[in-house]
Amino acid sequence: MNQYMKENIQQFQTENENKARFLIKCPDQPGIVAAVSDFLFKHEANIIASDQYTIDPDGGQFFMRIEFACPNLKEKSEMLEQEFQPIAETFSMDWQLLYVSQLKNIAIFVSKEPHCLLELLWEYQSGDLMANIALVISNHETSRETVEALGIPFYYIPANKDIRQQVEEKQIQLLEANHVDLIVLARYMQILTSHFVEKYENRIINIHHSFLPAFIGAKPYERAYQRGVKMIGATSHYVTNDLDEGPIIEQDIERVTHRDSSDDMKKIGQSIERTVLSRAVKWHLQDRIIVHGNKTIVF
């Protein structure tokens, strides 16, 4: 990590040392917003941003993201969590209290094609991806020089379906040693086992080079070309054991015509992939996503 990046992170942490976010999911009922707001007021916290959404206001689910600033937050954090618990129990809340200055540790998995990795590294260098990229893991050596030039550890672990379990054991050791919070599959072309996926539930973000649910699986651009589509896109989603069917975080599209070959579509699609994956990762880092079933609420 160069000096500019270090200074950028230090400045971010200093500016946000007294900021935190609540993510809340619970059955909808009167009084939730009032209870949370009153709790923060009693602890001298100032609400910076508040978003809420209800699925079916008549007995449905309530979702809330609230960001606040609280003096001496570090000293108060344990007390806040303890004293919020009775409110959470009253409303049957599934909740998290997340501290803005505590940057998440990311592991990026990549195979041969580097375009999504390069986008994430550029955002990281520029200070727009506020996290700690702890390591990059690949089943190819292609990106080693690029990654190590930024001072990020690069691990080459050959992988195929015959040694998948042994490979994942090595990967898990590295992830645990680096206290990884989020795994980003930046065109990592290997299927993960159910054990791995369940261990990191809602903490693995993938980019699929297709506008899901269309063209699930391999070679979507070739299949899209053969189908004669007029729009192509990319989808970023959390990984589940159902291939390419996890909760969708972000999607985008671009028009194509009969004049575009499958190679043309691939080039256009790669540009979409980069931005879609980057947005999804940023939203996760900013605690903007609540998973509900196989859907996401993105504030």
pLDDT at residue 213, as a whole number:
62
81 and 26 in one domain? yes
Last residue in a domain, options 69, 99, 129: 99
87 and 124 in one domain? no
CATH number of the domain bearing residue 147: 3.40.50.170
**Res. 201: pLDDT tops 70:** yes
Is there a domain that residue 50 lies in? yes
236 and 191 in one domain? yes
Return d(Cα 18, Cα 73) in angstroms, integer.
5
- CB neighbours of 31 closer than 8 A, spacing ≥ 6? 91
Is there a domain that residue 229 lies in? yes
253 and 214 in one domain? yes
Q: What are phi and psi of 211, to 5 degrees?
A: -90, 85
pLDDT (tens digit, 9 = 90+) per residue, 133-186? 999 999 999 999 999 999 999 999 999 888 999 999 999 999 999 999 999 999
109 and 95 in one domain? no
pLDDT band at 212 (very low <50, low <70, confident <90, very high): low
- CB neighbours of 34 closer than 8 A, spacing ≥ 6? none
- Give me the residues paired with residue 296 across strands: 291
120 and 74 in one domain? no
Is there a domain that residue 35 lies in? yes
CATH number of the domain bearing residue 53: 3.30.70.260
Q: Give the rounded percent of residues in the chain with a pLDDT score beyond 90.
A: 79
Say what the pTM is.
0.93
pLDDT (tens digit, 9 = 90+) per residue, 222-273? 887 888 888 888 999 999 998 888 999 999 999 999 898 888 888 898 999 9
Return d(Cα 264, Cα 279) in angstroms, integer.
24
pLDDT at residue 209, as a whole number:
78
Is there a domain that residue 250 lies in? yes
pLDDT at residue 175, as a whole number:
98
Is there a domain that residue 88 lies in? yes
266 and 177 in one domain? yes
Q: H helices within the chain, ranges in order?
A: 3-15, 32-42, 73-90, 115-126, 144-148, 164-177, 194-199, 220-227, 262-285
| CA dihedral angle for residue 4, residue 183, residue 13, residue 126, rounded to 10 degrees | 30
Residue range(s) defining the domain that contains residue 54: 17-99
Three-state secondary structure call for residue 263: helix
Radius of gyration of the chain measured on its C-alpha atoms: 21
Last residue in a domain, options 70, 99, 128: 99
Is there a domain that residue 281 lies in? yes
Catalytic residue set? 244
Three-state secondary structure call for residue 171: helix
109 and 55 in one domain? no
DSSP 52-102: EEEESTTT-EEEEEEEEE-TTHHHHHHHHHHHHHHHHHHTT-EEEEEETTS
Contact 284/244 with Cβ under 8 angstroms?
A: no
Last residue in a domain, options 47, 64, 99: 99
Per the listing, tokens 């209290």 go with: 97
177 and 54 in one domain? no
Considering its fold, how many domains does the chain have in total? 2
